[in-house]
Amino acid sequence: MDKRLEQQSALFVMDGVKGGHDGMNYGTPKKFRKKQQNTLDVATLASEVRAGNRISLSKAITLIESSNAEHKQQAQSLLQELLPHTGNSIRIGITGVPGAGKSSFIEAFGSMLCELGKKVAVLAIDPSSSISGGSILGDKTRMEELVRKPNAFVRPSPSAGTLGGVHKKTRETMLVCEAAGYDVILIETVGVGQSETYVRGMVDFFLLLVLTGAGDELQGMKKGIMELADGIIVHKSDGDNIRPARKTVQEYKQILHFLQPATPGWMSTALAVSSHEKTGLQETWEMIRAFQEKVYASNYWTIRRHKQTRDWFHAMITDHLLDSFYQNTDNKMQVSRLEEAILQGQLTVTQGVNKLFEK
Amino acid sequence: MDKRLEQQSALFVMDGVKGGHDGMNYGTPKKFRKKQQNTLDVATLASEVRAGNRISLSKAITLIESSNAEHKQQAQSLLQELLPHTGNSIRIGITGVPGAGKSSFIEAFGSMLCELGKKVAVLAIDPSSSISGGSILGDKTRMEELVRKPNAFVRPSPSAGTLGGVHKKTRETMLVCEAAGYDVILIETVGVGQSETYVRGMVDFFLLLVLTGAGDELQGMKKGIMELADGIIVHKSDGDNIRPARKTVQEYKQILHFLQPATPGWMSTALAVSSHEKTGLQETWEMIRAFQEKVYASNYWTIRRHKQTRDWFHAMITDHLLDSFYQNTDNKMQVSRLEEAILQGQLTVTQGVNKLFEK
């Protein structure tokens, strides 16, 4: 964004906030009207979001997810407007193998939190959704109880392309939800692979859902995932499954004892939960509250959040540099030619890199 | 390197190989002598390395580690010359907490391999050595038995600065050792932190050394390290320690069962070893041989090595792009100014990135 234009737009936004929220511009000279109209929309949207209007919140997130250049600029003005009102939630990442019952857990856990008076936002990060396109409809129908709660906001997966993009948009969506007064943000990882590491990098507490039979379960999971978890839920602990679930909880506790803690000063632990019978949900919330208290007290809460923001900034700088390099067709072709020559033993790796950048 | 110059130099190198190894240039016109002398040295060095001359091998590695521009070019000519003769070793990475006895294990294990008729090269990767400077002398005095074996070559840690640099140099050193006919390359991680991941990315088999009392041990280790290991050695299993070591072996086997295997098709396992009593060393070699057989058969051996080379190339491209960006003082200053503004909530992360690249 041009610097002058940005300052101007910031001013218009301020005017908009001061000068009534009806979107009309009495007495504004005609030649400024169109421009001011645009920026006033952002200001109005910002105050509607802050007032807790869920339709406006949805609109704001759509603006953030848009790839249209004008929308992108408006989204950034909106975010800048909302920034001072962000950060006042607990951000919880939730992951687990397919079939672990993430949606039914979020439905039950989120509903309980709403009944405790919390405002709960559910976001999903799904780097694969642009390919499969499958989970968006799924989200809408899965959490029937939760979506009817006035305190809940359930947003389906963003449909953005690259993982870097989803990452960025989920972070920005999270900030908008915080400005809208949501106390608890639940971020569900829908995809497999890299998404867990991304989510770990944007949340305070990371929850792993597993089923009984720990060994077999973990075979299908990403390496190192257990060491990212602040808490493990052994899910579907109901009926005949209660006893094996309790045994699995003990097994996980034993493994967690061997591993380095995901959060300094917090000993990760495991719990048996049934979303069907609604057991273990309060204990889950107590665990998260105990975590929050400990990590607040040690100041690691702020340290981690600052680190996450810095890492996000640096990751976006790296993404930008790599994108600009690989978007150039010549570079891309030369890289794959050189790669081939290296694999065939015609060139050393260093020679390949030197050739690439010799111009 | 200029393409024409490189072809020329490759020709000179070929001439050097064909035309006797005494380094003299009978009948060469005076005006070419200096240039040809340089390239002939590389060819001579290459053939000396291939003939198994350990002094020449040391010289070749010093050339690779040099930061002098001319040396760098010569090092790359040398490597290109040697490339067709590389790849015929088993590359073993060895890591463990300080005090686990990595050096005494390498001393005992390497000596046993030499007695089996293997040629063994020991390299160390130590990203911290440029700061501490401590481990270089240590290496020389530690492996007294091994360094006296005619079949062994022990190279102290490289003294290069950045991790990226060490990484690259250890890889290239490994290739030179392979061209010199070493069958087993042992790469010891001396530092802590990132180095394990780098070493995992350049070896076939990754060995983790631990002591008895698994839980306490692992507390000091890097997250996810156990999931990188193809084998775990419970070390110092001698005297009163034999029983607890056997118990620890069982505990590790149980944990390994829960984790995703480091190498597809290979079930990572644990062994008790005493380097002092020389027990468990043959079992360690049998384990590595069994691994090799399995992974060869599934073709994952080649798949992994190709992937490692490609990853190395792409990591060096990324390093180059990031270095050129951050080496610019203006960029560096702007990044830290923007970072500050972002942390204080004045700018969104996206706005920060846009500002950085708006020029």
* Residues of chain A contacting B80 with CB distance shorter than 8 Å: 347-348, 351
Phi then psi for residue A266, to 5 deg, are -125, 125
For residues A93-97, average pLDDT:
87
The CATH architecture that domain A87-297 belongs to is: 3-Layer(aba) Sandwich (3.40)
pLDDT at A159 over 60: no
The interface predicted TM-score (ipTM) is: 0.80
DSSP reduced 3-state for B87: coil
pLDDT at A7 over 90: no
Where in chain B is CATH 3.40.50.300?
Answer: 86-298
Go through chain B and tell me how many residues it has.
Answer: 359
DSSP reduced 3-state for B344: coil
Averages of pLDDT over runs of 10 residues in chain B (359 residues) are 37 32 39 47 95 95 89 94 96 87 94 97 68 40 83 76 59 96 91 74 94 64 78 95 93 82 93 97 98 96 96 93 94 96 94 91
Distance from CA of A290 to the nearest CA of B (A): 22
Contact A197/B224 with Cβ under 8 angstroms? Answer: no
Where in chain B is CATH 1.10.287.130?
Answer: 307-357
CB contact under 8 A, A339 and B313: yes
Interhelix angle B300-327/B329-343, nearest 10 degrees: 90
At A84, list the tokens. Answer: 């001072």
Q: Tally the C-alpha atoms within 13 A of residue B169's C-alpha that lie toward its C-beta.
A: 26
DSSP reduced 3-state for A188: strand
For residues A153-157, average pLDDT:
82
CB contact under 8 A, B222 and A83: no
Which of the four pLDDT bands, split at 50, 70 and 90, describes residue A155?
confident
Distance from CA of A226 to the nearest CA of B (A): 9
Where in chain A is CATH 3.40.50.300?
Answer: 87-297
Which of the four pLDDT bands, split at 50, 70 and 90, describes residue A15?
very low
Distance CA B345, CA B261 (A): 43
Distance CA A174, CA B233 (A): 45
Distance from CA of A172 to the nearest CA of B (A): 9
pLDDT value at residue A157:
64
pLDDT value at residue A198:
84
CB contact under 8 A, B342 and A309: yes
Contact A90/A184 with Cβ under 8 angstroms? Answer: yes
Distance CA A217, CA A238 (A): 18
CA-based nearest residue to A89, from A207, A225, A202? A202
Give the burial string for B76-109 (b: 16+ CB within 10 Å, else e). Answer: bbbbbbbbebbeebbbbbbbbbeebbbbbbbbbb
| Residue written as token pair 């501490």 | B132
pLDDT value at residue B1:
37
Question: Which one of A247, A258, A357 would you mutate to disrupt binding with B, by most B Cβ within 10 Å of its Cβ?
Answer: A258
Contact B50/B180 with Cβ under 8 angstroms? Answer: yes
pLDDT at A194 over 80: no
Q: How many CB atoms lie within 10 A of CB B241?
A: 17
CB contact under 8 A, B215 and A168: no
At B132, list the tokens. Answer: 């501490």
pLDDT value at residue B138:
45
| Record: fold of B307-357 | Helix Hairpins (1.10.287)
Phi then psi for residue B343, to 5 deg, are -65, -30
Distance from CA of A256 to the nearest CA of B (A): 9
CATH of domain B86-298: 3.40.50.300
Distance CA B210, CA B95 (A): 9
